[in-house]
Amino acid sequence: MTSSPKITDSHCHLDFPDFDHARADYIGRAVEAGVHRMVTICTRLKNEPSVRAIAEEFAPVFYAAGTHPMSAAEEPLTSVEALCRMAEHPKMVGIGETGLDYHYTAESKDIQQKSLRIHCAAAAEAGLPLIIHARAADEDMARILREEHDNAAFGCVMHCFSSGRDLAEAALDLGFYLSMSGIGTFPKSQEIRDIFASAPVDRILVETDAPYLAPPPFRGKQNEPSYVVHTAKVAAEVFGLGYEAFAQQCEANFERLFTKAALG
């Protein structure tokens, strides 16, 4: 076991076929790198049983469940009650990912918005953080999050944040968190790093979004949870901190938002 500082990969997709051939090895490598917790994300609720099974099999793995906005038009519309029933499982620690994606699926924006509002209400009811995917929908996203948070407060993380400064500020004003993925480490992502640098460091998480968005030196290859360390080292530089201090801060942030995982 390494003596590396502990850190959490707050968002990955361990149920994806990319990991089927050696899931235990990927998780083992993560733990060796100091990644002592991973949150694997269910993006289609019909797959929730298989995602839950991964979390049940592997002690370091927790999970969240929701309908991804790009799938909202293809999947049955869920309900607050259904999501809250799932949330009773001891290792389900978040609602989502949900959100709005007008880059790839703008034609389904009405059903995306309806689905998003259901997930917001479920997060408030269940007392679990909402996990948001946002792409090319900043204005609607900020508006809906404000409206729903006013209706019933909930915690939230803007997963894989790569949107504009206005959405970042709207999220932070609501008490939400921003999560840096491998995108924030890419050479051409200085604008994103600048947005992160202007955010409070106690509102920052890190993630891989594995198997996507591997950070350097693995860019272009399959991402995996162990690589979150490389993203976190770049984030530490953004905030002018040493890696150990930043990792400790990220752990505190994660446990403040994902309280159920902290207890688990």
CB 114 within 8 A of CB 147: no
CB 200 within 8 A of CB 177: no
pLDDT digits (tens, 9 = 90+) for 164-192: 999 999 999 999 999 999 999 999 999 99
CB 238 within 8 A of CB 40: no
Q: Which fold has domain 7-263?
A: TIM Barrel (3.20.20)
DSSP letter string over 97-139?
A: EEEEETTT-GGGHHHHHHHHHHHHHHHHHHT--EEEEEES-HH
pLDDT digits (tens, 9 = 90+) for 13-34: 999 999 999 999 999 999 999 9
pLDDT digits (tens, 9 = 90+) for 140-158: 999 999 999 999 999 999 9
pLDDT of residue 2: 45
Q: In this prediction, what percent of the chain has a pLDDT beyond 90?
A: 97
CB 183 within 8 A of CB 212: no
Please report, for the chain, the start and end positions of each structural domain, with discontinuous segments joined by +. Answer: 7-263
Top pLDDT among 262 and 225 is at 225
Please state, in angstroms and rounded to a whole number, the distance separating the CA atoms of residues 99 and 115. 8
The gap between the terminal CA atoms of the chain, to the nearest Å, is 21
Mean pLDDT, residues 93-114: 98
